[in-house]
Chain A
Amino acid sequence: QVQLQESGPGLVKPSETLSLTCTVSGGSIGTHYWSWIRQSPGKGLEWIGFIFYTGRTDYNPSLQSRVTISVDTSKNQFSLRLSSVTAADTAVYYCARIQAHWYMDVWGKGTTVTVSS
């Protein structure tokens, strides 16, 4: 059974870059698309972007200028970088698997990231 685990710093300073990694276990990263989603009290659930093992990506237009999602097939991991963060980027960040019908069917437990000096 596929499981996902987010990891990364829980505190990031304003204007710096948020970096998170999602480790996929119980299956190969090469079989699906993978996504990042975040959830904050102010904005609810917000899709950030997705990636395929080939490196194909697509991003939320509202975040596109600040987001990079990458994949490391040797480690069965994919990663999120969000630059120039502000307090508005404080959220629980989830990684998720995208199933054949293009919906998120397996989610990590989520990791809380706070942007504060």
Chain B
Amino acid sequence: EIVLTQSPVTLSLSPGERATFFCRASQSISNYLAWYQQHPGQAPRLLIYDASNRATGIPARFSGSGSGTDFTLTISSLEPEDFAVYYCQQRSRLIYTFGPGTKLDVK
């Protein structure tokens, strides 16, 4: 099973600042990585797929990069609604695993 680790566990920032999230895979997954956002009590929301493609309706302030084992999600300028938990997910060989998440909270 491919294990995903995410860092940091918690990120404390203010609106308007830049946020950077990291995800590392235990082995190469090419670019088969997605990022999801989850607010409390809600389902996850797909933000980025195949490492760098924004999903339908996702604002341009969200961007993703990386390939192989190391991936990054960046929010260029935080809006109030961006404070949530962010998960990475891989789909290598169509067996999906998720990372443990990074909580983005207000500083």
Q: Which of B14-22, B64-72, B73-81, B87-95 contacts A (4 or more CB under 8 A)?
A: B87-95
What per-residue 1/0 map shows which CB atoms of A23-62 lie under 8 Å from chain B? 0000000000001000000001111000000000010111
Given contacts A60-B95, A61-B95, whether A104 and B101 have CB atoms under 8 Å apart is no
Chain B residue at minimum C-beta to C-beta distance from A95: B43
Tally A-B pairs: CB < 8 A. 55
Decide: B91 and A45 in contact? CB cutoff 8 A.
no
Chain B residue at minimum C-beta to C-beta distance from A60: B95
Q: Contact residue range for chain B?
A: 20 to 34
Smallest beta-carbon distance A91→chain B, Å: 13
Q: How far is the CA of A96 from the CA of B101 in the complex (A)?
A: 19
B50 touches which of A46, A101, A107, A110 (Cβ 8 Å): A101
Residues of B within 8 A of A (CB): 1, 32, 34, 42-46, 49-50, 53, 55-56, 87, 89, 91, 94-101
The 5 tightest CB contacts between A and B, nearest first, are A107-B43, A47-B96, A45-B98, A103-B49, A103-B34
